[in-house]
Amino acid sequence: MIIALTLLTVAVSAVTIISIWQSQRIKNFNAEITRYEENRYLMQQLTMAVLDNETGARGFVITGQRNFLEQMIVSERKLDELRIDLLKRTTHPVLSKLLNDSLSPIIDLRKEFSWQMVALVNSNKTEEAKKLVLSGVGKHYTDETRRIAAKIDTIRSSLLNEKRTANEAFVRDLNGFLILILLIILVLSIFNFRQLARIYKRQKETELQLRQGEQLYAALFYKSPIAKWIVAPETSTMLDVNDSFCTLFNIARENVIGKTTAETGLANSPGIKEAVFQQLSEKGCVRNLEYKTILANGEIKWVSMSIDPIKLDGKDCFVGASADITSIKEKEQLIAEMNAGLEQKVLEKTAELRKNEKKLQELNDSLERMVEHRTAQLSVANKEMEAFSYSVSHDLRAPLRGIIGFTNIIQEDYGAGMQEEEKRLFAIIRKNTEKMGHLIDDLLDFSRLGRKEISKTTVDSQALVQEIIDEMSKENPRTDAVEWKTSQLLPVQADLATIRQVWVNLISNAVKYSKSNPKPIIEIGSYSEANQTVFFVKDNGVGFDEQYKNKLFQVFQRLHNESEFEGTGIGLALVQKIITRHEGKVWATGEINKGACFYFSLPNETYATKNS
């Protein structure tokens, strides 16, 4: 729009300048024409003066009258004046040259010729002068002058014509240019007009929106459920309030508008004004300022107030919004009362809890003391047990050594004189004593195992079992008859010394209880099962009655007569104790006279993690 207006101004200025220029040019040309006319006139005067000169000179010669001479002198003066004037007014070089080089000398010759004739007359040689007139020389000069003058005029006229043609062409071009500019002006004017129309339309729309906005804000103000009010701070006059305001404060509209806040009696809460001023000076507005007010009818209201500065007709005003929070406050108070009650209850419960905690602590302390006491007792019992074991080991065996040793002495020293029956009885004493020794040893082994540390290493079961079988074969000739069936045994994490004892006990049991079979077969194997490795020793011996199998692993419990199978009843109990200490399990299957199979399992998590 601004660009278009600027362009329009520039175009109009251009038109003006061009018009001025054109008129100036026309004026100049007109002046040129005038000068041309003047020059032509001067030229005619000059020609006339030459004629006068000739006429004067000739008249004087022929008549001898003085007045012709005067005419000649006058024309001569006039000739000089005209010649100078023309030279002054002529600027064109061709014309100047013609004037100077052609016309001026001819004029001078003319003048000289005239004076020549005058001189002849004056010396009374009138006849000679007349001859000179008749010679035609003078006329020749006059004609020559007229011819040059005519030539100058022709040149002047053609120069003027050239200028005129150029001028006309220029004016035509300029007119075309002017039309172009005028067209541009027309386009720009149309554009500007359209723009103006658009601006006008927009203004109308804005006005409409403004009016609608005003209506909307008026509705927002007057129809708001929140009490709203506008106050002029200079006079503290209430300018406007809405219906909610009147309802909230139970006051008629006419009793508020135009009245000061003091007159309405609504700013009666102590400290409220100070609080408002403080917030206004700090933040420039008031936010959710809660206060209690007592209405004219004595009703108590809780109000939450916010105030913002606005401009109304250029004046600073405040618009306020007051919400009725009486019910919220009442609920809050109720909650506070309930909280207080709750807190009291919590305090009571906490106290109770503390009491219980203390009681628990006391109980714990007493329990701890009891545990300490029991531990001490247990430790004493353990020590006693050790002392007992030691005592059993040493003191019970000493008398046995005496019995057996001195019985031997009797047999050695007096055996020769003894009867067979006496020898047999001594042998019984000896056998029983030895058995008691074994019992003591086994019992000690069994009780000692409870205290012994289990230190696990990777045990090569295959090598261990083979070594035990080889050893057993050397000591016990009965094993010669045995057919061994051992499959590849899995390695396992176990305490080597005790696990060796397990294998020895199980294998020796298998050998012992299969001696009645003429073709004893002992099968030893292993398999993996749910994070554990299971080993088994199977024989085809006497087996056992499954209904007594719960007694198999108990100390001193035997399922066979001693006269049939020697033993103290400790072996399997020991096996169970060792495997239990390894966190494994033992079990057995069997049938009378069809053999037995003893299993034990060992956990292999540690094995698995160590080898992964």
Partner 1 sequence: MLQKTVEILLVEDSIDDAELTIREMKKHRLANELFHVQDGAEAIDYIFCKGKFADRTIEQRPKLVLLDIQMPKLNGIEVLEAIKSDERTKTIPVVMLTSSKEDPDIKRCYELGANSYIVKPVNFDAFTAAIRSIHYYWLLLNETPVK
Distance CA 305, CA 314 (A): 25
Decide whether 48 or 396 has the Cβ nearer to partner 1.
396
Decide whether 257 or 403 has the Cβ nearer to partner 1.
403
> Closest approach of Cβ 470 to partner 1, in Å?
23
Decide whether 233 or 405 has the Cβ nearer to partner 1.
405
Structure tokens at 397: 């065996």
SS (H, E, C) 43-67: HHHHHHHHHHHHHHHHHHHHHCCHH
> Closest approach of Cβ 428 to partner 1, in Å?
15
Decide whether 233 or 402 has the Cβ nearer to partner 1.
402
In 3-state terms, what secondary structure has residue 532? strand
Nearest to 256 by CA among 270, 236, 276: 236
Distance CA 18, CA 178 (A): 8
Nearest to 574 by CA among 508, 493, 492, 522: 508
Decide whether 404 or 522 has the Cβ nearer to partner 1.
404
> Closest approach of Cβ 436 to partner 1, in Å?
8
> Closest approach of Cβ 386 to partner 1, in Å?
9
Identify any residues that bridge with 492 across adjacent strands, giving them in sequence order: 459
Identify any residues that bridge with 231 across adjacent strands, giving them in sequence order: 238, 318
> Closest approach of Cβ 568 to partner 1, in Å?
14
Give the number of other Cβ atoms within 10 Å of residue 113's Cβ: 19
Decide whether 30 or 408 has the Cβ nearer to partner 1.
408
> Closest approach of Cβ 582 to partner 1, in Å?
21
**Residues in touch with partner 1 (CB under 8 A):** 390, 393-394, 397-398, 400-402, 404-406, 408-409, 433-434, 436-437, 444-445, 448
In 3-state terms, what secondary structure has residue 584? coil
Decide whether 309 or 405 has the Cβ nearer to partner 1.
405
Pair 490, 528: CB distance under 8 Å: yes
> Closest approach of Cβ 468 to partner 1, in Å?
20
Distance CA 318, CA 404 (A): 124
Structure tokens at 564: 């049939």
Distance CA 321, CA 224 (A): 10
Distance CA 602, CA 586 (A): 9
Q: Which residue's entry shows tokens 């002058």? A: 145
Decide whether 284 or 415 has the Cβ nearer to partner 1.
415
Distance CA 603, CA 601 (A): 7
Distance CA 270, CA 293 (A): 9
Decide whether 2 or 398 has the Cβ nearer to partner 1.
398
What's the Rg (C-alpha) of the chain? Answer: 78
> Closest approach of Cβ 495 to partner 1, in Å?
16
User: Which helix or strand (DSSP H or E) is residue 238 part of?
Assistant: strand 237-241
Distance CA 10, CA 3 (A): 10
- In one-letter notation, the amino acid at residue 507 is I
> Closest approach of Cβ 406 to partner 1, in Å?
7
Distance CA 549, CA 570 (A): 15
Distance CA 595, CA 162 (A): 156
Identify any residues that bridge with 292 across adjacent strands, giving them in sequence order: 302
Decide whether 441 or 523 has the Cβ nearer to partner 1.
441
In 3-state terms, what secondary structure has residue 457? strand
CA geometry: angle 334, 339, 342, nearest 5 deg: 130
In 3-state terms, what secondary structure has residue 172? helix
**Count of residues for the chain?**
612
> Closest approach of Cβ 444 to partner 1, in Å?
7
Distance CA 537, CA 523 (A): 6
> Closest approach of Cβ 404 to partner 1, in Å?
5
> Closest approach of Cβ 405 to partner 1, in Å?
4
> Closest approach of Cβ 478 to partner 1, in Å?
21
User: Which helix or strand (DSSP H or E) is residue 442 part of?
Assistant: helix 420-449
Decide whether 207 or 434 has the Cβ nearer to partner 1.
434
Decide whether 355 or 448 has the Cβ nearer to partner 1.
448
271 Rama class: left (phi>0) / alpha (psi -120 to 50) / beta: left
Nearest to 44 by CA among 160, 127, 135, 150: 150
> Closest approach of Cβ 474 to partner 1, in Å?
18
> Closest approach of Cβ 417 to partner 1, in Å?
20
Decide whether 445 or 523 has the Cβ nearer to partner 1.
445
Decide whether 160 or 439 has the Cβ nearer to partner 1.
439
Decide whether 325 or 404 has the Cβ nearer to partner 1.
404
Q: Which residues contact 21 (CB under 8 A, 6 or more apart)?
A: 174
Q: Which residues contact 397 (CB under 8 A, 6 or more apart)?
A: 437, 440
